Chains A and B, each alone.
Chain A
């Protein structure tokens, strides 16, 4: 089994590792780097629990090989909190809206919604639902997640407007 040398940046930290060619990105993050926040729920690209941001784009880490991430910047759930360790607006909104129960789908929900909020700070409920249509949850019934995204969006928008004054 050939080993391939890769360099990746994960949550703004640089790593260099030797990986098997068939090692998937999610397994690399979880096992090689010890970042177990990203979860595997299906390994066939449907459930979305493994979603991370690769060069700012949401992707299924179960459908990428670790070697393909060479040279990329990856953001996982572990990299979403504020620099001082406090919860981000989105994370804070999640707890206020009870948008997580078991927490297993949460990494995928947070990374996907982070991408959405980077594109659009005034999403409609329909747009939020569409954005997370590729993320399955068996606990919450989705509505609290949608509410959290809308709440976070309105707060982020208010912050932005306020800071521009």
Chain B
């Protein structure tokens, strides 16, 4: 299983990368390579030109920029997983990475690569979705930002021109004391999620829900925000009843995908269960951080 022939390019700057992307025939970006290389080894993909971004330093990094956290496109999943800035500001990301594949993959894989690959079962677009993240891209017409909700164009295709490059992702962290959970159902540890659920919640002193985000992966091409549940639960007490209401909202999702291995009915069933379990865990954490701590 050897890749078909290609010309290799390793630009050292974003400008150079953009130029190559516009000029070369049948080019493909090589980021972490953990999704692209298997496809090339199988000869499912046979690009004529490979543009390797791994030498462009400016595309990596995690930093606080005012109110937001910015993660460069080429930042290794491992580095995000072990970042103390991320653990403190967005622990849902650290939790999710416990479930993403295996250490060898995370050592090379990048967040940007995952966002471009857009596998419906992938955890990373899902937590970015829950965080209302924004994705910055750069093209010959300049830089623009695309909200995660508009990021998926169609199955495994981001809403980015073929001549554009993903620069990074940013999001505003949830307030200190928020509850979070990322849970998924997979056959074995590290497998792609069949269904995964990301939950972020804040509750007030009366245990009432003040803010809620629920995003589900594995049921459609793009991570699915359970908007109906999010709005309905505002003001409700963070208890079992709220959880049950949210789970019922899963029934209102219209098209749930299926494949040879997992039916849409089963995925819907799992989505319900994991929504319940994730909300329950998020509630517990919100309560825990509430007790004995000053909150905003």
Contact = CB atoms under 8 A, between A and B. Distances in A.
Contacts of B50: 21, 65
A134 B34 contact: no
Interface in A56-103: 57-60, 62-65, 67-68
Interface stretch (B87-95, B100-108, B147-155): B100-108
Interface residues of B, number: 30
Interface of B: 1-8, 10, 30, 33-34, 37-38, 41-42, 50, 52, 54, 78, 101-105, 107-108, 188-190
B6 A22 contact: yes
A44 B41 CA distance: 7
Contact of A133 (B2, B38, B54, B102): B102
A114 interface: no
A96 B34 CA distance: 35
Given A62-B41, A63-B33, A134 B102 contact: yes
A67 B102 contact: no
A101 B239 CA distance: 52
Interface size band for A: 20 to 34
Contact of A115 (B34, B54, B103, B105): B103
Given A21-B6, A133-B190, A63 B108 contact: yes
Contacts of B5: 1, 21-22
B41 A67 contact: no
A21 B8 contact: yes
A106 interface: no
A158 interface: no
A130 interface: yes
B33 A64 contact: yes
B108 A112 contact: no
A24 B101 CA distance: 21
Contacts of B38: 43-45, 63
A134 B103 contact: yes
A44 B10 CA distance: 23
7 contacts: A21-B7, A54-B107, A58-B107, A59-B107, A64-B33, A68-B54, A115-B103
Contacts of A4: 8
A58 B1 contact: no
Contacts of B104: 48, 51, 58-60, 112, 134
Contacts of B107: 54, 57-59
Contacts of B8: 2, 4, 21-22, 65, 67
B103 A58 contact: yes
A136 B52 CA distance: 29
Contacts of A24: 2-3, 37, 41
A49 to B, nearest CB: 11
A44 B3 contact: no
A133 B187 CA distance: 13
A45 B2 CA distance: 13
A131 B101 CA distance: 11
A43 B7 contact: no
A44 B42 contact: yes
Contacts of A64: 33, 37, 108
Nearest to B189: A133
A133 B188 CA distance: 9
Contacts of B108: 57, 59-60, 63-64
Nearest to A129: B189
Q: Most A CB atoms within 10 A — which of B4, B6, B42, B102?
A: B102
A98 B189 CA distance: 25
B2 A130 contact: no
B103 A2 contact: no
A43 B41 contact: yes
Contacts of B1: 43-44
B3 A22 contact: yes
Contacts of B78: 57
Contact of A67 (B2, B10, B101): B10
A74 to B, nearest CB: 13
A64 B50 CA distance: 13
Contact of A45 (B4, B6, B34): B34
A35 B190 CA distance: 30
B252 to A, nearest CB: 36
Given A44-B41, A64-B33, A134 B101 contact: yes
Contacts of A43: 1-2, 38, 41
